[in-house]
Amino acid sequence: MDDEWNADQANQLLRVTLDEIELLGDKLSPARAEALLDEFEHDIREAFLRRDLSAVVNNCEKYGRRFRALGEEEE
């Protein structure tokens, strides 16, 4: 992937990740989900401020995996 900043691509990745997190919402305990979401928001904000597309991609993938794992753990 080209690391040149692309706001449209970064926003699309963020939307897809947030949609996935929202779908998992019913499976997660509210406290754990909120803590992980706060962590995600901090990390993704930093990536956007740095205009670092690879960091946006990595954070979206990382937190997507973490939310899915948390959802499986709580089933």
The pair of three-digit structure tokens given for residue 46, joined into one six-digit string: 């930093």
Q: What pLDDT, on a 0 to 100 scale, did the predictor assign at position 1?
A: 47
Cα angle: 55, vertex 57, 36; to 5 degrees? 80
Mean residue pLDDT across the chain: 91
Instruction: Give the H or E element holding residue 45.
Output: helix 30-50
What is the CA 5 to chain-centroid distance, rounded?
A: 18
pLDDT tier for residue 2 given thresholds of 50, 70 and 90:
low
The reported pTM is 0.87
Interatomic CA distance for residues 55 and 28, integer angstroms: 25
Burial class (CB in 10 A: 0-12, 13-18, 19+), 5: middle
Per residue in 19-49, pLDDT (tens digit) is 998 888 778 888 888 999 999 999 999 999 9
